[in-house]
Amino acid sequence: MGSILIKNGLLVTMDRERRIIEDGGILVEDRKISKIGKMSEFSGVRADEEIDAKGCVVMPGLICSHTHLYGMLLRGAPLFAKIKPPTDFMQNLQWIWWPVDEALTHDDAYASALVGCLEFLKTGTTLFADTYSGPNSIEGVLDRIGEAVERIGIRGFISFEATERHSREEGERGVKECIRYIEKVGDKGRVRGMLCLHASFTVSDDLLKLVREKANELKVPITMHTSEGLVDVYHNLERYGKRTVERLRDVGFLGRDVVLAHCVHLNDDELKILAETGTNVAHNPMSNMLNAVGVAAIPKMIDMGIRVGLGNDGYIFDGFENIRAAYLLHKVHYRDPRMMTPLQVLEMATIKGAELYGVDEEVGSLEVGKLADIIIIKPDVLPTPLNAETVYGHLVNTVDGDDVQTVIVDGRILMRDRKVLTVDEDEVEAIAQRSAERLWDRLKEVKPELDRIR
């Protein structure tokens, strides 16, 4: 692979000192960043490819800490217009998400992963953590998703979301699919496997323990939805006499390698348990707003030293929109404009995301020795000066995903001047649209009122 020299950029490194370098350069050799600094230190440096980043922000690729690529196939879906709108989170699952995931096929998994990764690439996300759910498309599905991620060229942790909502056997099959894929791809490549459980109200203690044991053995992250809606809290209090995080702690499930998505309905005792066990949180502000589940206590978590990353939960894939939502939501919730600084949300979307999944030695910041996952951004309209002092503000308030011009992953240019180099975009969209039409057709037969609580 040839070397790349990025010149004259405003570098937002997100390194340990959170350095911002004006008129900076980055040299990429053999997949990694080999030199970073002021352009004055680059005299005589040449590379196979040179990119002039004058007037641009150069930063690490965004990291999406929680997504469902199959969510792409529901954009604008008309099929639920005929049902009453769900009134709470549980009805949302029963009436929408569960009928959908039961109708998904391996081809849908591939199509949605392809188009999801395309949107990630075009809006600057270079690493994501995906959980696929589909009780009728379990075995082999991670190969199809992995194939799509490989084609686009970005980086991903992928998993099957094991659930026992129909049977014990279904849960074990889900875990087995993850293990099969983890063992197949290993822990060095761009696409890796992880373990995943749906949520505390659809899994038994036995399955929690099994997944914990396998994660220790395989040394991979585990992710699970946690107290997204109140159903987790009621379920665990009623069945186990404990709050959600207390139950997870008591079965020995929590730890540094666990990423809990949402954590909206946790009390202070539960937050303390997360801090003590080093358990991580993936915050999904836009999805939480859409599903009207409430607001997670993110500023408090950060104050307590809990690592928090930023996810989209399969809803809006432009990471800059999610950054803006995380920036604003806590201000209005607490009626305090000091809540969440631009730097805090940018950390959540980059280096913290890497820490969540234990890959912060590899990606998440621009530093010598790290893999070259780099995005170059040129704001469409720039009303005020762009410099070291203003750049965090611009990234949160001015920039959209469409402003991302060039994306490098693993030292390879995947998009240059907004032209995607790895796939034919029209072809990807056609594959996804065909898949969505067929899925929507199948869903016409579904009875949304079907009770799926066990």
Instruction: Give the nearer residue to Zn ion in terms of CB position, either 129 or 254.
Output: 129
Q: Give min distance, CB of 115 to Zn ion, in A.
A: 18
Dist. CA 403–CA 351, nearest whole Å: 21
Task: Give dist(CA 357, CA 256) in Å, integer.
Answer: 9
Cβ proximity to Zn ion, 313 vs 410, nearer residue: 313
Which CB sits closer to Zn ion, 225 or 394? 225
In the complex, least distance from residue 314 CB atom to Zn ion, rounded to whole angstroms: 6
Minimum Å distance from CB 98 to Zn ion? 13
Closest CB to Zn ion among residues 314, 401: 314
CA 3 to chain centre: 29
Q: How far is the CB of 255 from Zn ion (least distance, A)?
A: 20
What's the order of all strands across the beta sheet hosting 280-283? 195-199, 222-226, 258-262, 280-283, 308-310
- 130 or 367: CB nearest Zn ion: 130
Nearest residue to the partner Zn ion, using Cβ: 313
What's the rounded Cα separation, in Å, for the pair 375 and 406? 6
Say which residues have a Cβ less than 8 Å from residue 79's Cβ, sequence separation at least 6. Answer: 440, 443, 444
Shortest separation between residue 92's beta carbon and Zn ion, angstroms: 12
Cβ atoms of 232 and 265 closer than 8 Å: yes
**Distance, CA of 58 to CA of 20 (rounded, Å):** 10
Which C-beta is closer to Zn ion: that of 177 or that of 313?
A: 313
Torsion angle, alpha carbons of 389, 392, 398, 404, to 10: 110
Positions in the binding site for Zn ion (CB under 5 A): 313
How far, in Å, CA of 219 to CA of 395, rounded?
35
Q: Considering the complex, state which of residue 164 and residue 313 has its C-beta at the smaller distance from Zn ion.
A: 313
- Minimum CB separation of residue 124 from Zn ion in Å reads 21
The least distance separating Zn ion from the CB of residue 46, rounded to whole angstroms, comes to: 46
- CA atoms of 448 and 265, how far apart (whole Å): 26
